[in-house]
Structure 1
């Protein structure tokens, strides 16, 4: 059964960004808009939104039409569980967005659970995440194709899989703090998992 939702997106889910193509075929309309809150820049470069504060956070309202599976996948991607709110990475909340034509629209947005804000995240002054991203480009642009491919393999593997690596690549990824050596196998660090999540 098809369902419709107005979702306010920012950062990696905006048109032209890394995750937009995952939603594109379900987008019926898109409008520039902004909501009030705070934005923080993650180590990987992309922003997260907190539903507190008075900064204007720019983004887009996407009217999505899809079956329930897409909306469940979005919840899963954002680590949202309505049954375990306190443990959820993001909360899916209803709020108001101001469109460019000054019209107010009720929308859903994924707001970071404040208890889950990473220590290395930096407050984006005035909420202008596009400017912050321009000043500190996302971490993904620093990675070579070989590094990206390895992170994808390691991220897609189960916890018991051994993913072979050459010594130079091992040193590069260890220096970047993207992998950790668990003795018999390698695993992604917290930053490595974040990078994996934002890979196209």
Structure 2
């Protein structure tokens, strides 16, 4: 039996039914699999099998048979092929930053529950009331004010709460465009520091455009970060959608990052950023 489970709704960390996975081993917090995500309008989503779309979620290792039984009860799964199943169980490929896994996925059987398609395939982002504004974690060029000023949106980024830390991730420049790499966070251990902002809806609209959400650049995600020694939930950030081999960023981009980080992030981390860029540039020279 497959011991990996892909979750995408109320079983996600921080959601109402996550307690059922208390003794499960987390494998990946940034994961995706094929499917279309729908809101049931009953407080939870459903994944419909589909090869053209993706759904984002988390992967856990579940070895306790009693836990599987509790999960089946939650999902209204009686046994394979039962006419009264609310969900069916399938095994399909799940992609993570650590590689691919074959994982159990609970998918829609009662299709009458598929009420509204969720663009982007992310339940936590869909649930957030972005029209009310929210907290935002910037870790790349959006730590710097210059482009905010140039674009006439700096007034939306005045409420900076200071330094925040996102553990379990490493900064990589693996969003590659014509002049070099752009920043991303990869789930491979480590720590990413950034600025935590409280932003209005206008800032979120701007960020979606700047990050190329509708053009396969970055995808929005809701994370938890550490700020002033406490965990802060429901924080918006952005991950690279299609990760490539890391290359050095262009000078103007790395300048924005270093300038924005200086004086807010730790001196040790800023120095690490500088050294990382230098190492990538040297590597690019050697490889070329």
State TM-score, norm by structure 2. 0.41
Instruction: Note closer, same or farther for the CA distance 1:83–1:35 as it changes in structure 2 (3 Å cut).
Output: closer
Question: What SS does the aligned partner of 2:83 have?
Answer: helix
Alignment of 1:1-200 (within 5 A): 5-24=3-22, 26-31=23-28, 32-66=30-64, 68-101=65-98, 103-113=99-109, 115-118=110-113, 121-135=115-129
C-alpha displacement of 1:56: 1.6
C-alpha displacement of 1:46: 2.6
8 Å contact from structure 1 (residues 91, 110) kept in 2: yes
8 Å contact from structure 1 (residues 14, 59) kept in 2: yes
| Structure richer in helix, relative to its length | 1
C-alpha displacement of 1:134: 1.0
C-alpha displacement of 1:83: 4.8
Question: What SS does the aligned partner of 2:50 have?
Answer: strand
Q: Specify the structure having the higher radius of gyration (Cα).
A: 2
Partner of 2:175: none
8 Å contact from structure 1 (residues 36, 51) kept in 2: yes
2: CA distance, partners of 1:132 / 1:29: 23
2: CA distance, partners of 1:11 / 1:87: 21
2: CA distance, partners of 1:99 / 1:33: 5
1: CA distance, partners of 2:62 / 2:56: 19
2: CA distance, partners of 1:4 / 1:104: 14
Q: Which runs of 5+ in 1 are unaligned?
A: 137-200
1: CA distance, partners of 2:120 / 2:20: 29
Matched residues, number: 130
8 Å contact from structure 1 (residues 45, 133) kept in 2: no
State TM-score, norm by structure 1. 0.58
8 Å contact from structure 1 (residues 33, 58) kept in 2: yes
2: CA distance, partners of 1:134 / 1:93: 28
1:24-75 CA-partner distances (Å, limit 9, x unpaired): 1x21233121101000012134321111242221111101231x22212211
Question: What SS does the aligned partner of 1:22 have?
Answer: helix
Instruction: Note closer, same or farther for the CA distance 1:122–1:82 as it changes in structure 2 (3 Å cut).
Output: same
**What is the root-mean-square deviation of aligned Cα atoms in Å?**
2.4
8 Å contact from structure 2 (residues 2, 103) kept in 1: no
8 Å contact from structure 2 (residues 57, 122) kept in 1: no
Q: Which runs of 5+ in 2 are unaligned?
A: 131-288
2: CA distance, partners of 1:28 / 1:104: 17
2: CA distance, partners of 1:83 / 1:106: 18
